[in-house]
Structure 1
Amino acid sequence: MNLAEQPEVLALASVQNAVETSLQVRPTLVCLSHLRWGFVYQRPQHVMSRLAKNYDVVFFEEPIFFEGDAPRLDVSNPAAGIEVAVPHLPFGMSGEAIDQAQRQLLDKHLAGRVQGDLLLWYFTPMSLLFTEHLDARVTVYDCMDELSAFMGAPARLIEMEQQLMARADVVFTGGVSLWEVKQRQHGNAYPVPSSVDIAHFAAARQALPEPADQTSIARPRLGFFGVIDERFDIELIDRVAAMRTDWQIVLIGPVVKIDPQTLPLRPNIHYLGARQYAELPDYLAGWDVALMPFALNASTRFISPTKTPEYLAGGCPVVSTPIHDVVSGYGESGAVFIADTAEAFVEAIENALPLKGTAQFLQRADAAIAGMSWDNTSRFMQEQIECLR
């Protein structure tokens, strides 16, 4: 089940009328996020920037610690209708003091500004530690990933998620496999896989100016953009690069939670670092095959990578390890190749290399992402909220 298969739900005039009526006084939506607005542009930014057309969004991030005496809240407006609020707390505070400081900063920020309903949107259950006192009209748990399986997950995360599940009015999951688990824990859960801004990435199907740091890299080019962390199969990339030294592997994204010294260093592996969302099509246009070299471990068991439809929208064949939601969602598309070993990965890349730009491949890619859009995804989520208000 996905949103592309439910156009009739999204088009219900009666629901839309109810939404418009209830939004005459704009609600305040407080989004509690473990991801920063300025980090990789992904689901939180896509969804919140669209919900901000009808809600006043306060995007409340995890704290930053500094040398000082008094907690403070730094507020910025990176997009229309979005307030990003970042707590700055002194070093050395206890866990209880940290929760209390965040509670006070948030309460002070919201005081006098909430005119309509208060909506709470949780990306992380840990935020419940300083928001459990808030009286929300609707509480949303957007479970993007199984966070308890990630490296460095807080010890209390599972306990806090259980509490959030009990409080939440609606639960969204980042993919179907995660929904299969969470729907057994909550009676109003929906699979809402991350979507794609097709127009943004479709620009990569045309000839675009080559980024300066990619111009000198030879072809064929195999590319990846995203976070390089414990989910990334370092050994797989190293082996593919060693097996085919004529292939150039371009890796774009920040290195997080793993030691950069563990990354393989070869002449045909190119680490270009993090890039802005707006720049990604420029890089993608110059790749021959897009890669999703995810390790198969606890942290990837339930992921539904956003980059799958982004690569396809850009007209690039995809080779992926057998991530469950990728196999079930795209395995029969003819546009995404699945491989479970380094040898199979090399063979899949060889099969994918001739496809880019061909009419047959582009038809398959378009069919795989037909009906997908962040507008539809956000509209579906908003409709669930409005049905509960």
Structure 2
Amino acid sequence: MSLLTTPVRQDLVVLSLEPWDDVWRRNQHLIAGLLADDPGLHVLFVEPPVDHLHDLRRGAPLTLGRRLRRLTADDGVPEGRAWALRPTKWLPRRLAPGADRRRAGRIARVARRLGMPDPVLWVNDPDGAAVLRATGWRALYDVTDDWLRADRPAAELDRIRSNEDLLLADCAEVVVCSPALARSKGEASGRPVTVVTNGVDLAAYRRPVPRPHDLPDGAYALYVGTLHPDRLDTTACLRLATTLRAAGTPLVLVGPALMDPLDLTRLEAAGALLLGPRPAAEVPGYLQHAAALVVPHRVDDFTDSLDPIKLYEYLAVGRPIVSTPVAGFRDQPADRVAIASPQRLPEAVLRAISAPAAPPSALSGSSAPTEVPRWSDQVRRMDRVLTRVRAARPR
């Protein structure tokens, strides 16, 4: 006869670079997996602040920060053990000194209200250094982008560097998602770092699904991911869209659009079809039915630090892949990924489209690699890291 035991409560505050929404990213995959595996885990997920002035500059509609809300099964997590908070950033830092400190204080107060007096702090957003300063919570720094290598104003880079120096020095554990980040952050801090790459739900992506109704008729080339100027090579995208339109095969872009509105208009004028974000559960259908999957990314120090989730999602569906020579994709065998310069990307994509490819119905028997990292494995790796953080001495 087995005895029922009460799970040991574990509290976690996550400072994320992205909101918890239908477009699942690394944090959501990992947090949802951890919650499913540990019935004692409780999570406060802090989303990036709504920035009104930034939205106005890029022509996006204004949104308001959301009060504390309970995440549910509709959000992909167990009921009653996860909450999300999205603050509002009313003014730039130069006009509102101490804003980060006040935000940190609010997060600490919300955590206490939720019965989290001494949680583990998971920092993905470098600005979360203010929360570490204010609380002294045992902490993990999860590095997914090298923002010091991004094109940013000098003052912003100085702030990021100062925050990252504190996080690398004072966090009990540092996790990175790519070998490039392991080298740069390990060397910068002189400390060991743990690599936890991104992954994919292989079964979901290899299960054939119907063609989405909003796709154009016939063959199409597809990019799935956030349309972000730090990642996408706008000139390469325009060249690719123009060439594919002439060949009667449109370029389809699926994902949140964070580019300049003028660049988005230019892409549409060149023949690209911008579908916007789609729920994570619908993404496999767009990938499985594509004639080619494309990665028209910039090639620079910033993209070299990334571990693109789309690498694993693209590989899982076994469709032809064409990419600029960026991290992850350029390391794959030639029979899996065709690498082309931004200038030669259109002709490489046309070759991939013209080559015979198995239909999506044959996906289960395709040559798609089975050794790609799975999110379930990455969840277990992160759980081991969190166990070490909990055992660390408080600051």
TM-score range, shorter chain: 0.7 to 0.9
- Structure 2-normalised TM-score? 0.80
Q: Residue 177 of structure 1 is aligned with which of 159, 180, 196?
A: 180
Secondary structure of the structure 2 residue equivalent to 1:303: coil
1:223 matched to which residue of 2?
222
CA 1:72–1:355 in 2, change beyond 3 Å: closer, same or farther? Answer: closer
**Alignment root-mean-square deviation, CA:** 3.0
- Offset from partner CA, 1:247-304 (integer Å, 9 cap, x none): 2211111221423445333464211111111111222222111111101134312112
1:232 and 2:232 equivalent? yes
Q: What is the one-letter code of the residue matched to 1:258?
A: D
2:203 matched to which residue of 1?
199
Q: What is the one-letter code of the residue matched to 1:142?
A: D
CA 1:368–1:319 in 2, change beyond 3 Å: closer, same or farther? Answer: farther
Deviation, structure 1 residue 352: 5.9
CA 1:281–1:325 in 2, change beyond 3 Å: closer, same or farther? Answer: closer
The answer to whether the 8 Å contact 2:199/2:375 transfers is yes
Distance of 1:364 and 1:342 partners within structure 2? 29
Deviation, structure 1 residue 368: 5.1
Secondary structure of the structure 2 residue equivalent to 1:142: strand
1:43 and 2:47 equivalent? no
Secondary structure of the structure 2 residue equivalent to 1:111: helix
CA 1:52–1:95 in 2, change beyond 3 Å: closer, same or farther? Answer: farther
- Offset from partner CA, 1:58-111 (integer Å, 9 cap, x none): 101233368xxxx99432313323211122465588543422432332222122
Q: Which runs of 5+ in 2 are unaligned?
A: 53-64
Q: What is the one-letter code of the residue matched to 1:193?
A: T
The answer to whether the 8 Å contact 2:15/2:46 transfers is yes
Secondary structure of the structure 1 residue equivalent to 2:87: strand
Deviation, structure 1 residue 39: 6.5
Distance of 2:67 and 2:193 partners within structure 1? 33
Q: Residue 74 of structure 1 is aligned with which of 68, 72, 76?
A: 68
1:283 matched to which residue of 2?
286
- Offset from partner CA, 1:225-268 (integer Å, 9 cap, x none): 11111111222122233334222211111221423445333464
The answer to whether the 8 Å contact 2:293/2:322 transfers is yes
CA 1:76–1:233 in 2, change beyond 3 Å: closer, same or farther? Answer: same
Aligned residues: 355
The answer to whether the 8 Å contact 1:232/1:294 transfers is yes
1:27 matched to which residue of 2?
10
Q: Percent identical across equivalent pairs? A: 23
Secondary structure of the structure 2 residue equivalent to 1:250: strand
* Residues 1-389 of structure 1: pairs in structure 2 closer than 5 A: 24-38=7-21, 40-53=23-36, 54=38, 55-64=41-50, 73-77=67-71, 78=75, 79-80=77-78, 81-88=81-88, 94-111=95-112, 113-114=114-115, 118-136=119-137, 138-152=138-152, 154-155=156-157, 156-184=159-187, 185-203=189-207, 206=208, 208-214=209-215, 217-230=216-229, 231-244=231-244, 245-246=246-247, 247-261=249-263, 263-266=266-269, 268-328=271-331, 330=332, 332=333, 334-347=335-348, 349-351=350-352, 353-357=354-358, 364-367=367-370, 369=372, 372-388=373-389, 389=391
- Structure 1-normalised TM-score? 0.81
Q: Which runs of 5+ in 1 are unaligned?
A: 1-20
CA 1:39–1:149 in 2, change beyond 3 Å: closer, same or farther? Answer: farther
